[in-house]
Structure 1
Amino acid sequence: MAVARCQGGSVRPPSRRATAAQAPIAVRAGRPCGAHPLRRVERAQAGLATLAVTALVTAGVVCGLVVVAQVRGGGASNALGHTEIVQVQAGESLEDVAVRIAPDRPVAETVHRIVDLNGLAAGAVAAGRLLVVPGPAR
């Protein structure tokens, strides 16, 4: 910093005022003197473009992970086996539904599978309820 000399030869201390490069955005006549509005728009567009690219990359990574999980797990159809959706008729119990959908399989095994597939706590179901049931063996 340059030292300023006064008329009498005395030395004035350096100014504590910030230089133009260090100064915050000043306001002159009620208008900001900072970056030009077009420059601010360009910066905002660059920020939005970065955000869009980040979102696309994230979506791609998530989709890739889902595909990898499906391939490694053998797909959803292998995890659940073949399933169908049936509606419980009036007066039907889970045993009746089991006999109706799989007459050639053991009833207890089919009921257990229906309870597992639907997350049922009790053996009773209401008429009209839709149930995921094991489908025919293929």
Structure 2
Amino acid sequence: MKWLVLIFCLLAAPLAAVQPDEVLDDAALEIRARALSADLRCPVCRNESIDESHADIARDLRLLLRERLVAGDTDSQAMQFLVDRYGEYILLNPRVAGVNILLWFAAPFMLLLAGAIAVVTIRGRSRAAGPDALNMDEQKRLYDIMGK
């Protein structure tokens, strides 16, 4: 029964690049491997998980991940092994910690900064001196120039 469920799951995901020789015999381990590989970025492809990628390195990473799971690693240990080896870039959703905090909050900070600059600029223009702020001599000179 487990094999039937696994076969239907594999057939339902035609975008996956997992080859039949990569599939583990243990259905529970294979499901864990597929879930983890969906969260890992292919180092060659842009924003494509190793589960979707047809690149050779993605295949190597899928096999390495499965080896770690068969060896008895937990999900977090297997992921940490790959992060230690390839860096934070391999995670499709990087952790919000350390230097990554700067990356996570830089865009919202820049948006707020741009909004504040826009508000200050617009308010400054509305307070600028207009024709009503001219004294009598300046108004007379302006009317003379305009021919009135």
> Normalised by the size of structure 1, how large is the TM-score?
0.30
Q: Which has the higher contact order (CA 8 A, sep 6+)?
A: 1
TM-score (norm 2): 0.28
More strand by share: 1
Structure label with greater radius of gyration: 1
